[in-house]
Structure 1
Amino acid sequence: MSWDDFRLVKAIADTKGLTGAAERLGINHSTAFRRLGQLEENLGVRLFERHRSGYAPTPPAEEMVALADRMEDEVATLSRKLAGCELSPSGELRVTTNDTLLMHLLTPILGEFRSRFPNIRLDIVLANQALNLSKRDADIAVRATDDPPETLVGRRLATIHWALYGRRDAFPDGATDADLRSLYDRQWVSLGDNLSGIRVSRFVREHVAAQNIGFRVNTVLGLTEAVEAGIGIGYLPCFIADPRPGLVRLSSPVVEFSTGLWLLTHPDLRHSARVRAFLDFVGAEIIKYRAAIEGERPFEALRELSPAAR
């Protein structure tokens, strides 16, 4: 058996069918069907039971999948170790973050990084869920979290603070924390179900009547646009909302809603020249914006990062 045989069986088991497996492997359906038939004939065993719900692996196939998983882990480990042996900062670097951090903080920093290190090619992967750095889904993660995975190493660069915001023309005199209870009767916007577990989302759900939450959206960017459009008031990260002249703070930053901003990588990669260059440069640049990220009044350098203020 070849490694391709193991990859085929694993892909079919993972996707529960030939169509998904063929797409994952970059082959057509008929090729996947033919290869599976040849493999079963050569081994003299049936690898999958065909059901209406999909392909179910038999015990021999389950053993092949388990071995394929171990082989993938070994290959990924070797790949990380080889990447850590490079002498000069060059090659491709895959960085995962979310759209909010990319648009409102990272893009100018990444542009400057490319100017400093032109031999490093950046591949940015936008994802709100954590990618598997152990399997090289990404080399570096820039994440807002209070619980970074124990399998990764990195540093906490700042604390992202949130405050309550509304349209400036609707609150020409601003507001204070003492006014918060009276604001519960206004129209609110909140994060969608996929982010319902974070503290700020739970707070709004527990304190504002359901009929007053007239707009929910599953991204922080969408939430910010909704508040600026006057759909309702809502809690936003200070470094996103403060540079927007159309918004005004209605509360002080709420410590309970804060999250850490982390720069993370896998231990096997931290001595790689390109990873080390990214961690040092981008980390130092982000720290320059710590005051604004942590809810102090924004300085002009951060204001220039905001699309709304350009």
Structure 2
Amino acid sequence: MAEPFKNLAWDDFRLIKAVADAKGLPAAAAQIGVNHSTVFRRLKQIEESLGAILFERHRTGYALTPAGEELVALANRLDEEITAVGRKLAGREPAPSGELRVTVPDSLLIHLLVPILAGFRERYPEVRLDIVLSNQALNLSKRDADVAIRATDHPPENLVGRRVARIAWALYGRAEDFPEPGEVTQEQLDARNWVSLGDSLGSLKAVKFVQEHVAPERVGYKINSVLGLAEAVEAGIGIGHIPCLIGDSRPSLVRLGPPDDDYAADLWLLTHPDLRHSPRVRAFLDFLAGEVARHRRFIEGEAGHQKGLAASDAAI
């Protein structure tokens, strides 16, 4: 296979890898952005060039042969090396420019970051932001994103970054339901319906509290989004724990207790080690760190009676 192997281009390896991952031609074609017939024709040409069958065709899909497994293993190594070179070259850019992909949870984007990102774009107009709304851990090693903004006490060990604040959480309800929030009794709270993050987020202490201290019949609404949780409290579905930066920015909500540090989480700005010296990544991290510092009291729940980012500016 050595001589014919030299005739393969990187696109051929991508095609083989796509068919292996998708276990079929239609999904592989969609993955690499070509039509089904092109994948079929090119795969046949590759196999003829190599003099080897790479896939066994079954009713359930395409299965790799030993020769195909060897090619896919090589394709994975090439993909890793090409990505690594791309990261290193990105770190040698002369000035902040180009596309920067940032992954961030929806709640942080809406209630904290949009005006900050607008300020960044004004200062660095040559950097184009591609925002990926996600609470999941994207693979920064694969360049799924260049920067991850996450609320976590345990950032991934393979990433580098900085802790810029601690996000406070407290119990909130509607102001119209609690005209004297400072005088709410435990009996009143026990009589209320609750909202909570879903059981899939059961590792969070705020979720554990509801599981352990609230009667199941009182939990009338669960959702896997912090932003959706705040919307549910505001709609009057129930009381619930939400980040103070969300609750304090909504005039219709009131705290039913002080922030609980057990529920708090660190706010991290993270990137891959190969990208930390990239001008656009470095400029972005420095800018966000500075802006978040200006609003730290608001994020950490110390400006409980002030509303929104403008009020938090005044509190500093």
Distance 1:137 1:176 in 2: 48
Partner in structure 1 of residue 93 of structure 2 = 86
Secondary structure at 2:262's aligned position in 1? strand
Aligned partner of 1:108 among 112, 115, 129: 115
Partner in structure 1 of residue 175 of structure 2 = 168
Deviation at 1:111?
0.3
Greater Cα offset, 242-251 or 185-194: 185-194
Which ranges of structure 1 fall in alignment gaps of 5 or more residues?
A: none
Distance 2:311 2:114 in 1: 8
Matched, 1:50 2:57: yes
Distance 1:32 1:305 in 2: 57
Matched, 1:226 2:213: no
| Paired residue type of 1:168 | A
Distance 1:79 1:176 in 2: 58
Aligned partner of 2:203 among 171, 189, 197: 197
Deviation at 1:44?
2.7
Aligned partner of 2:158 among 143, 146, 151: 151
TM-score when normalising by structure 1: 0.93
Partner in structure 2 of residue 265 of structure 1 = 271
Aligned partner of 1:3 among 7, 10, 23: 10
- Residue 188 of structure 1 contacts residue 233 of structure 1 at CA under 8 Å; is this kept in 2? yes
Deviation at 1:299?
7.3
Partner in structure 2 of residue 256 of structure 1 = 262
Aligned partner of 2:213 among 207, 231, 244: 207
| Paired residue type of 1:151 | N
Secondary structure at 2:264's aligned position in 1? strand
| Paired residue type of 1:258 | A
Report runs of 4+ in structure 1 exceeding 6 Å deviation: none
Distance 1:199 1:41 in 2: 58
Tell me the percent identity: 61
Partner in structure 2 of residue 28 of structure 1 = 35
Partner in structure 2 of residue 276 of structure 1 = 282
Partner in structure 1 of residue 222 of structure 2 = 216
Partner in structure 1 of residue 293 of structure 2 = 287
Q: What is the RMSD of the two structures over their aligned residues, measured on CA atoms? A: 1.9
Distance 1:305 1:74 in 2: 48
Secondary structure at 1:142's aligned position in 2? strand
| Paired residue type of 1:272 | S
- Residue 105 of structure 1 contacts residue 305 of structure 1 at CA under 8 Å; is this kept in 2? no
| Paired residue type of 1:218 | N
Distance 1:141 1:199 in 2: 23
| Paired residue type of 1:77 | A
Distance 1:298 1:207 in 2: 25
Distance 2:186 2:263 in 1: 16
Aligned length: 305
| Paired residue type of 1:49 | E
Deviation at 1:184?
3.1
